[in-house]
Structure 1
Amino acid sequence: MHGYMRMYWAKKILEWTPSPEIAQQIAIDLNDKYELDGRDPNGYTGIAWSIGGIHDRAWFERPIFGKIRYMNYNGCKSKFDVMKYIEMHNS
């Protein structure tokens, strides 16, 4: 998975679950099962950065995310071609 997509994906899991602990466990389980770098330090670090803010600075506090960096779809569109990414992985 593209690194930016993993960050966005993990943050969506955080948004959709009742707690950061549950979000982190779900993200780890899915990453370990489906990603090439499953059970790799890079995967765990990406998830910890996205959900726990590891290796990142504090941001403005907001609901659900607290001081963890917020990411949204428009941010993804500014970093890479989202539709091309979807088409590439949808075939």
Structure 2
Amino acid sequence: MSPRVTPLPVCPQSSMNLPPDKARLLRQYDNEKKWDLICDQERFQVKSPPHTYIQKLRSFLEPGVTRKKFRRRVQESTKVLRELEISLRTNHIG
């Protein structure tokens, strides 16, 4: 049996980061189903929000890089771009 859910004010920290159509669907669920979804959501934590990756990419724009450092920066920036792609796919923006 699930504990009784008491409605709390919505704040960004408790948001499930859903697009509007999914939020409408969520409102139609009963409280037990919502509680299950909240418990599942707590197990999943976003590694980093998209803006974190943008800041990392900006750091690669510094001038005066040697050939060895340039090669390493290309590899690192490629990794950051892959992580940004995943973050943008898994996090609703807007």
With normalisation by structure 1, the TM-score equals 0.25
Identify which of structures 1 and 2 has the higher relative contact order when contacts are C-alpha pairs closer than 8 Å and 6+ apart.
2
Which of 1 and 2 has greater Rg?
A: 2
